[in-house]
Amino acid sequence: MEQAVSRPVVPPSTKQAIRNRVAFMEKKTPGYVSVLGILGILVVWEVLSRLGVVSSSYLPGPISIVTAGWGMLLSGEIHQNVLASLYRIASGYAIGVCIGIVVGLLLGFFRWIDAILTPIIYSLYPIPKIALLPLFILWLGIGETPKITIIAVGVFFPVVINTYSGVRNVDPILIKAAVTFGSKPLNVIRKVILPASLPMIFAGLKLSAGYTMLLPWK
């Protein structure tokens, strides 16, 4: 006969202590706590600015910022600047995304393009894109073109890398099935590889969207 396994007896006080700890960890924080945290930072920021701990020339207080912003809004100056920034963001983002998706699909589908371009792309990716801005100004002149170009370059790399990863992770059985049924390479890319790569492509679009906010106001 099997011997019954004796279980350790847990005192009621220990059980209650465990329940209290679990309840404390599962307790939700009220929403106003986050608001109070932000307000506290703004108050400390304003006090430091008023006391002169940090010069207002380098870090103006929140009240000064809101006052200046309201004045620019009334004068119409902020509208012109926002429209110019949105134009740079939209143009650079569209160019970088289109080129990045096309290049990523080609890298993932054609092995000889992958062998030639992938080492170049991965070697250029770590270079800070802001460091390329003086070169673009020398090559393209002073104006909107170098600003749009630096945004497009920054968007290009996350998109092409994520697209390439998405293509390489497509189930080979799907590609072999499409080729077996006589699909041409373009149809395989359009109807098999591209739909299967969309999650990774959208991840790249999300990552690159943040980069568009770095330079449009320069």
- CA neighbours closer than 13 Å in the CB half-sphere of residue 45: 14
Residue 127 phi/psi, 5-degree rounding, is -65, 130
User: Which residue carries 């509208």 as its tokens?
Assistant: 79
The residue that leads in pLDDT, 156 or 189, is: 156
Cβ contacts of 106 within 8 Å, gap of 6 or more: 113
> pLDDT tens digits for 134-145?
888 888 888 888
Model confidence at 167: pLDDT above 60 = yes
Average pLDDT over residues 159-163: 92
Model pLDDT, residue 80? 81
> What is the fold of 76-211?
MetI-like fold (1.10.3720)
Mean pLDDT, the chain, integer: 80
Average pLDDT over residues 60-79: 83
Q: Is 143 left (phi over 0), alpha (psi -120 to 50) or beta?
A: left
**What is the pLDDT confidence band of residue 197, given thresholds at 50, 70 and 90?**
confident
Per domain, the residue ranges of the chain are 13-74, 76-211
The residue that leads in pLDDT, 110 or 98, is: 98
**What is the pLDDT confidence band of residue 217, given thresholds at 50, 70 and 90?**
very low
- pTM of the predicted protein model: 0.69
Cα–Cα distance for residue pair 86/25, rounded to 1 Å: 44
Cα–Cα distance for residue pair 122/154, rounded to 1 Å: 13
> pLDDT tens digits for 11-25?
566 656 666 665 555
Model pLDDT, residue 95? 93
The residue that leads in pLDDT, 148 or 27, is: 148
